[in-house]
Structure 1
Amino acid sequence: MHTVLIKNAKVVNEGSIQNCDVLIQNEEIVEIADSISAKSSDTQIIDAEGNYLFPGIIDDQVHFREPGLTHKATIETESKAAIAGGITSFIEMPNTIPQATTIELLDDKFEIAKKTSWANYSFMFGGTNDNLDEILKVDPKKVAALKIFLGSSTGNMLVDDPKVLENIFSKTNLLIAVHCEDEATIKSNLATHIKTFGEDIPMEYHPKIRSEEACYLSSSSAIALAKKTGARLHVFHLSTAKETALFDNKLPLGKKKITAEVCIHHLWFSDEDYKEKGTFIKWNPAVKTTSDREGLWKALLDDRIDVIATDHAPHTLEEKKNVYTKAPSGGPLVQHALIAMLENYHHGKISLEKIVEKMCHNPAILFQIKNRGFIKKGFKADLVLVDLHAPWTVNKSNILYKCGWSPFEGFTFKSRVTHTLVNGKVVYNNTKFAKTSNAQQLEFNR
């Protein structure tokens, strides 16, 4: 029996912080108490030394680029970076090459993850204008959700036929996760700016092109359709204050039919950062104004926004250095997501308990993930130990993403992840990884 005992930890869980010991046997937490003694000489003891113990972070939106785009990233490289950042479970998006829009192609991704992932994993199935028959075959106990792009997609994954969209919303029992930007509005805005600037549009116009109007038109339409059909809808990466008015906090998360997510970059950056960061903070939806950022924070803290995620979407430096119209949107974030939120804690913007709620508890509740997201007896021992007072600076030598860069390069964080456990095994310990991973496929209580 593999046994780990974590001593002298400040356990952050379910709205409180308590000084506890945590005993793990094999994959599960078996005891949480004020003081626990090792029951055998071969027990692995970790002295937390008063540092904070979180449930493993669950990231509900990543793009790990495999298969087909492995010059940017792989499931192995990015899940390893995630582990270093305290993310123990991820849900990956379907817009790879080929796209995961058939059961066979989805199963191929599960096989890759089974062999190479360092973090627990699941995938979303991709909706298109013509794959409803495949959607209806999806096993909801195995697959996290159905992903639909209502704007800004690749290949044939833009679902722009209203009849098809209503048919999907009406017939699937899967949670539907959506990227909401109105494509017609964006195309019109882009054409106007190309007339003025040509291909080399200054980056500060990105939030004018992928505008508040484009976001609100699409998200409000998706929500109206969900209410009409009774579908279970999750709106990814809100970027505007205006959109937050579409969501409420009247019900507990487990009873909500319509939920929302915000990403690290929309909470951290604003349009004032484009002059310094340029295309390195080019995301879809765009990073917008400081007032939008503050509106997102307000909605996050009052529970209209339910989840914090990364939308980790790496591209190579060469790709990012192109002019505006050629530079792809997206950036790497999994290694730095938790510590970025802890930086906001240090600045008094959010409590540790709220970080755990939005990054651990709520993704587990929202996606009905079995036995993860909490520090509880009988739950899987996915755990993260954090030192809140151990400054370090992000630079090329410690960036783990395959793309080799980060929008946080040069920034000094106050906190660091010291240990990450996945299914009861220490897989990351003070910058060093275990020889092998211990990841599992996520299961869903549906």
Structure 2
Amino acid sequence: MIKKTTLIKNARIVNEGKITEGDILIEDDIIKEVSDSISAKSADVIIIDVEGNYVFPGAIDDQVHFREPGLTHKANIETESKAAIAGGITSFIEMPNTNPQTTTVEALEHKFNIASKTSSANYSFMFGGTNDNLDEILKVDPKSVAGLKLFLGSSTGNMLVDNPKVLEKIFSSTNMVISVHCEDEATIKKNLQEHIDQYGEDIPISKHPIIRSEDACYISSSKAIELAKKTGARLHVFHLSTGKETSLFSNKIPLKDKKITAEVCIHHLWFSDEDYEKKGTFIKWNPAVKTAKDRDQLWKALLDDRIDVIATDHAPHTLEEKRGIYTKAPSGGPLVQHAFVAMIEMFHRGKISLEKIAEKMCHNPSILFEVEKRGYIKPGYFADLVVIDINNPWSVNKENILYKCGWSPFEGTTFKSRITHTFVNGALAYNNFKIIDVKAGKRLTFNR
């Protein structure tokens, strides 16, 4: 069988803490060679000259909600995976709070089946824990899924795991990475009732970070970490939103040796409570966007390696849903299409280096979840690649938004950089604002 060969010429390759100039040779879905200069061996080689633009490994987003099955009026795997590759995210890990919830092996396999037919990006799923599905958790093959997701606050359906004995049993019983949403439900309920007593149902959106407070986050995350230390569980804390929580994490050992890790999301690095006045419920997330001081402390912990990963928590809702009053508008927003360029914007502002972006969005998710042969640009790895022109401005508007929900918290924002090409398993899947519908995504595999 004739191999499909692609040669990427004149790249600035951002990989493993360095930027080097060179070429990348792809055979079928694998990177064959990375070198200063590679010549095409035959006329059949597809040559793509990227003219000195930057080439990153495809980003791995460890937390998305693509809403399928059951909530597909908001989004589905097909639409959101296309938005992801347009945003340079070539692999995603999707959450279990769909309908039905991914809390049985049968429901998990159903989602894998959907993705195998419709996903443009590489995919895996989290298995969901509840107060009463430990038997199902123990059936899951750790090599076949990204990990286990527990809601320790702000759950949907029956996914709030609030029984301490069950929680300890889960932590003690699985070798999978346990990823947690940490907000203390009792604290939030008390704060919410106080605000309803004062304002009724139409609470000012500016009160969101007071209702879903620093204390709510810290109480929950500190308990989860205490339990992980007690049981020896492998714990990953999703979407840190407070400066106070960053003190719970360490940079004393390499990521591959850490038992307790942390993630921060794009919105907590970009927005602050000063943005509620203009953006309203369109930046209503759980955990809440908090103060500029919190944001500064999150940046500090990201850059000094107490926080390990940048993700999106992509969670679309319809415009009609988001336009509701405070108590009706759901939390969450779409982010996969704009996350990478948002971080490149932070490079332009002097906040982070290109090498650090590659580390936090590409390399570290691969290390943390032990993803096989992805997250780096090196021979033998799958050819998931993103080409970025860092000096070619464009503005986010309704015409170029690819999310099924049709809106973005970045609408009206002009980014200095754009993604020109995205390769998924060696296939050119996106080129200059055009999706090439090759459905090249594969199921992620794990080195466990």
Aligned mates of 2:19, 2:372 — CA distance in 1: 23
- Give the match's secondary structure for 1:90: strand
Residue deviations 1:167-205 (CA, integer Å, cap 9, x gap): 000011111000000000000000000000000000000
Residue from 148, 159, 162 that aligns with 2:161 = 159
- Corresponding residue for residue 6 of structure 1: 8
**How big is the shift at 1:335?**
0.0
Aligned mates of 1:435, 1:410 — CA distance in 2: 27
- Corresponding residue for residue 88 of structure 1: 90
CA contact (8 A) 2:120 2:437 kept: no
Aligned mates of 1:148, 1:92 — CA distance in 2: 13
Residue 149 of structure 1 aligns to which amino acid in structure 2? F
- Corresponding residue for residue 295 of structure 1: 297
Residue deviations 1:125-159 (CA, integer Å, cap 9, x gap): 00000000000011111100000000000000000
- Corresponding residue for residue 27 of structure 2: 25
TM, length-normalised to structure 2: 0.99
- Give the match's secondary structure for 1:79: helix
- Give the match's secondary structure for 1:165: helix
CA contact (8 A) 2:427 2:438 kept: no
- Give the match's secondary structure for 2:139: coil
Aligned mates of 2:333, 2:294 — CA distance in 1: 20
Residue 285 of structure 1 aligns to which amino acid in structure 2? P
Which segment is superposed worse, 37-46 or 101-110? 37-46
- Corresponding residue for residue 101 of structure 2: 99
1:327 aligns with 2:340: no
Residue from 373, 376, 380 that aligns with 1:378 = 380
Aligned mates of 1:306, 1:47 — CA distance in 2: 33
Residue deviations 1:216-270 (CA, integer Å, cap 9, x gap): 0000000000000000000000000000000000000000000000000000000
**How big is the shift at 1:99?**
0.1
Residue 93 of structure 1 aligns to which amino acid in structure 2? M
Aligned mates of 1:79, 1:104 — CA distance in 2: 23
**Which aligned pairs between 1:225-236 and structure 2 lie closer than 5 A?**
225-236=227-238
Residue from 427, 430, 439 that aligns with 2:429 = 427
- Give the match's secondary structure for 1:385: strand
- Corresponding residue for residue 391 of structure 1: 393
Aligned mates of 2:323, 2:254 — CA distance in 1: 44
Q: Which runs of 5+ in 2 are unaligned?
A: none
**How big is the shift at 1:72?**
0.1
**Which aligned pairs between 1:279-294 and structure 2 lie closer than 5 A?**
279-294=281-296
Aligned mates of 2:398, 2:44 — CA distance in 1: 38
CA contact (8 A) 2:95 2:125 kept: yes
- Corresponding residue for residue 119 of structure 2: 117
Residue 423 of structure 1 aligns to which amino acid in structure 2? N
Count residues in correspondence: 446
- Give the match's secondary structure for 2:402: coil
- Give the match's secondary structure for 2:71: coil
Aligned mates of 2:174, 2:360 — CA distance in 1: 26
Residue deviations 1:61-89 (CA, integer Å, cap 9, x gap): 00000000000000000000000000000
TM, length-normalised to structure 1: 1.00
Residue deviations 1:351-376 (CA, integer Å, cap 9, x gap): 00000000000000000000000001
Residue 323 of structure 2 aligns to which amino acid in structure 1? K
- Runs of 4+ more than 4 Å apart: none
1:269 aligns with 2:271: yes
Q: Which runs of 5+ in 1 are unaligned?
A: none
CA contact (8 A) 2:131 2:166 kept: yes
Aligned mates of 1:435, 1:113 — CA distance in 2: 14
Percent identity over paired residues = 75
**How big is the shift at 1:38?**
0.7
Aligned mates of 2:403, 2:290 — CA distance in 1: 25
**How big is the shift at 1:40?**
1.3
Residue 318 of structure 1 aligns to which amino acid in structure 2? E
CA contact (8 A) 2:33 2:379 kept: yes
Residue 44 of structure 2 aligns to which amino acid in structure 1? D
**How big is the shift at 1:435?**
3.5
**How big is the shift at 1:33?**
0.7
CA contact (8 A) 2:401 2:407 kept: yes
Aligned mates of 2:64, 2:289 — CA distance in 1: 18
- Corresponding residue for residue 344 of structure 1: 346
Residue 305 of structure 1 aligns to which amino acid in structure 2? I
Residue 151 of structure 1 aligns to which amino acid in structure 2? G
- Give the match's secondary structure for 1:379: coil
- Give the match's secondary structure for 2:100: coil
Residue 40 of structure 1 aligns to which amino acid in structure 2? S
**How big is the shift at 1:433?**
2.0
**How big is the shift at 1:432?**
1.6
- Give the match's secondary structure for 2:180: strand
Residue 227 of structure 2 aligns to which amino acid in structure 1? L
Residue 383 of structure 1 aligns to which amino acid in structure 2? L
Residue 264 of structure 1 aligns to which amino acid in structure 2? I
Residue deviations 1:265-293 (CA, integer Å, cap 9, x gap): 00000000000000000000000000000
Residue 56 of structure 1 aligns to which amino acid in structure 2? G
- Corresponding residue for residue 193 of structure 2: 191
